[in-house]
Amino acid sequence: MLFSSLHDAPRCGRLPMGSTGPILLLEGLTVAYPPAGGAAAEPVLRGLDLTLQPGERLALVGPSGCGKSTVARAVLQLLPPGSRSGGRLELLGRDPRRLGRAALNRLRGEAVGLVFQDPMTRLNPLLSIGDHLTDTLRAHRPGDPRRELRARALDLLQRVGIEADRFGSYPHEFSGGMRQRVAIALAMALRPPLVIADEPTTSLDVAVSGQVMAELTGLCRELGSALLLITHDLATAGRWCDRLAVLHEGRLLEEGPAQRVLGAPSEPLTRRLVAAARRREGGASPEPPRAPVVLELHQLRCWHPLPGLPWQQRWLKAVDGVSLQLHAGETVGVVGASGCGKSTLCRALMGLAPVRGGEVLLQGRDLRRLRGGALREARRRLQMVFQDPLACLNPAMTVEEAIADPLLIHGLADRPEARRRAHEQLEAVGLPAAFGPRLPRQLSGGQQQRVAIARALVLRPTVLLCDESVSMLDAEVQAEVLDLLRDLQQRLGLGMIFVTHDLGVASGFCHRVIVLDRGRIAEEGPGDVLLCAPMAPITRRLVEACPRLPPAA
């Protein structure tokens, strides 16, 4: 009923859609990006074979850098100019590489809809949500009257769960999940027989990503579109797709029904990936160590004033009375859905967000009462590792400069000494000294995060805050970084506060877990217990939203 106007839409000028044959056919597809800096680029895809039948849902998985996203770009011809591509590539029986501009533009959108990873940057900030939709519809159906386009755009929005009165809202007024819904509506606007979703939920939190995936697959089923889901998350792939294709170094490694590939992987790499993903789902929480308390919070409150009249002040209570004790060598996980206040908690501890009330005792001294030199000294004992290592490292600073910088800022070493300590630190996080003169963007995501950890630890802190520090990494790299953190903790006796939206990761890694909901502690205990027997409704929601791998065969 909702979609009736779409179904009745005139079919004139549609692309030929043969009912027979695959939607997408790749045979020996090779793609190489244009050479950078004079060196001939290694091909990213080296002979990929893949077919997708109408209405099928296929997940393309693999470790980062295996060429997953390149497949989407190749199909839509969004490769940067100068890229080379060979082999067979057929979309609805036609090769997009041989099409002229106009035909290619019709193919994009009408034959394939693409949903990107980062919903924050993929929408034009100056265009309203409704204009995005009508703009796309008008580009493909130039003759249709304005009123009809608007009605269809409204229909689409409602279909992805966005109220009609948000039609005129702008992207910045939407949350990540809402924006991704808009992106889905845009990709589906012309009812393409194929939808490619490139890591559509990676930047969303667990609860929201479950809803978004449900919308996406539901719409695909309703319109009979095939779905090509590109993801590094095996559990998501297995939860939402029938078939799974594992990609490695630009080739197809293994392909089959999702249950079979995940339950009984035949290739060693797939087995490793599945094992890493299983480890993420949570293991037994380690026994907490007996050690002195290093950090203590008493009824910490971070309230932000909301705009309003001065005599009726309203507050956004981001953190509202959180108390906890952290022992040396202990890891406390802070888990919650987005907006629960976990990042504000971290920022408040670092002195980056204003604290409204309560006490923060670092080794018995109240941080809020310290001033000047004593505060600087105390801050040195509290360091943080952020979510996005590339964003938090100065792009113009080499790795060794970045690591040495805190020493220079605090005046703890002169330049040669700082350099020496930086090299030591590189070694401690498992990176070769040769990485010293490199720039952050020349490293992989995991290596960048190691550099960020090295920088945080060079000041020999007592407490390390990790704010979603591993959530951008794929399962295998994530496990490696977690191992490194665990190892460093044991060697240095670090107290760690580990903020994450993923209860599974927290349960295997942290000694204790705190579940935050609307700024308050909802539940507290060992992670494995919370995972098996969640008591608070929010914990139950978090556990249920988490996609899980099928049991091993």
Partner 1 sequence: MSRRGRLARYLAGRALLAPVMLWLIATLVFLLLRVAPGDPVDALLGTRASAAARDALRQQLGLDRSLPVQYVEFLQGLVHADLGQSLVSARPVTQIVREVLPASLELGLAALLVALVLGLAAGFSGIARPEGRLDLAGRLYGIATYALPSFWAAMVLQLIFAVGLGWFPVGGRFPPTRVPPSGSGFYLLDGLLAGSWSTVTAALHHLTLPAVTLGLLLSGIFDNALRLNLRRALRSDYVEAARSRGLGEVRVVLRHALPNALLPVLTIAGITVASLIGGALLIENIFSWPGIALKLQEAINQRDYPLVQGIVVVVAALVVLVTLVVDVLVALLDPRLSF
Interface residues with partner 1 (CB under 8 A)?
76, 78, 101-102, 104-110, 113-114, 116, 118, 121-128, 135-136, 139-140, 170, 172, 183, 186-187, 189, 307
Question: Can you read off the two tokens belonging to residue 225?
Answer: 């579109």
Cα dihedral sign, 256-261-262-267: negative
Name which of 133 and 326 has its Cβ closer to partner 1.
133
CB of 117 to partner 1, least distance (A): 9
CB of 284 to partner 1, least distance (A): 41
Name which of 127 and 370 has its Cβ closer to partner 1.
127
β strands within 116-178, DSSP E: none
CB of 301 to partner 1, least distance (A): 25
Question: Can you read off the two tokens belonging to residue 341?
Answer: 């206040």
CB of 120 to partner 1, least distance (A): 9
CB of 441 to partner 1, least distance (A): 16
Name which of 189 and 488 has its Cβ closer to partner 1.
189
Eight-class DSSP state of 164 = G
Name which of 173 and 483 has its Cβ closer to partner 1.
173
Q: Say if CB 225 and CB 188 are below 8 A apart.
A: yes
Q: Say if CB 200 and CB 233 are below 8 A apart.
A: no
Name which of 171 and 534 has its Cβ closer to partner 1.
171
Q: Say if CB 325 and CB 293 are below 8 A apart.
A: yes
Q: Say if CB 223 and CB 188 are below 8 A apart.
A: yes
CB of 128 to partner 1, least distance (A): 8
Q: Say if CB 172 and CB 122 are below 8 A apart.
A: no
Spatial neighbors of 72 by CB under 8 A, at least 6 apart, are 78, 114, 196, 198, 228, 230
Kindly write down the DSSP assignment for every residue of 492-543, as one continuous string. HT-EEEEEES-HHHHHHH-SEEEEEETTEEEEEE-HHHHHHS--SHHHHHHH
SS3 330: coil
- Taking the C-alpha atoms of residue 46 and residue 32, their distance in angstroms, rounded to an integer, is 9
Name which of 142 and 432 has its Cβ closer to partner 1.
142
Name which of 306 and 396 has its Cβ closer to partner 1.
306
Name which of 122 and 486 has its Cβ closer to partner 1.
122
Q: Say if CB 320 and CB 520 are below 8 A apart.
A: yes
CB of 119 to partner 1, least distance (A): 10
The neighbouring-strand residues paired with 84 are: 32
- Taking the C-alpha atoms of residue 215 and residue 228, their distance in angstroms, rounded to an integer, is 15
Name which of 102 and 553 has its Cβ closer to partner 1.
102
Kindly write down the DSSP assignment for every residue of 89-126, as one continuous string. EEETTB-GGG--HHHHHHHHHHTEEEE-S-TTTSS-TT
Name which of 127 and 275 has its Cβ closer to partner 1.
127
CB of 449 to partner 1, least distance (A): 23
CB of 183 to partner 1, least distance (A): 8
CB of 190 to partner 1, least distance (A): 8
